[in-house]
Amino acid sequence: AQTVTQSQPEMSVQEAETVTLSCTYDTSENNYYLFWYKQPPSRQMILVIRQEAYKQQNATENRFSVNFQKAAKSFSLKISDSQLGDTAMYFCAAAKPGATNKLIFGTGTLLAVQP
């Protein structure tokens, strides 16, 4: 079974600075997908970035990038030039391609961007 662990319940960063959120996972699968989702106070879950395990290159989406370390089963999210609108809960998730493709989530990290 897949498990996802986020060991940082809360983090804080100054506006315009860089912050890294940690995530580790456990799986016996060779093919899987990893995700970071953002959940602002509106409760709407928004996909931030996605990584396919068979791709060695780290995914990047504008100010968001990941450090995917497959051997270490680590999948951290780096947010550069933090903005006030980045304040949210961030969830790391994993999925195994198959019949269901259900997401397995970590417990989340609450990120506060300070002005």
List interacting residues with another protein (CB under 8 A): 4, 6, 33, 37, 42-47, 50, 91, 93, 95, 97, 99-108
* Token duo for residue 81: 């030039």
**Cβ 91 to another protein shortest distance, Å:** 6
> Which residue's CB is nearer to another protein, number 17 or number 97?
97
End-to-end distance of the chain based on CA atoms, in angstroms?
A: 41
Closest contact distance (angstroms) between CB of 44 and another protein is 5
Nearer to another protein, 88 or 108 (CB): 108
Considering the complex, state which of residue 86 and residue 106 has its C-beta at the smaller distance from another protein: 106
Instruction: Give the span between the Cα atoms of 67 and 21, in whole angstroms.
Output: 10
Asked if residue 10 lies in contact with residue 112, where contact means CB atoms within 8 angstroms, the answer is yes
Classified as helix, coil or strand, 85 is helix
Nearer to another protein, 39 or 58 (CB): 39
Rounded least distance, CB 55 to another protein, Å: 13
CB-based contact 92:76 (threshold 8 Å): no
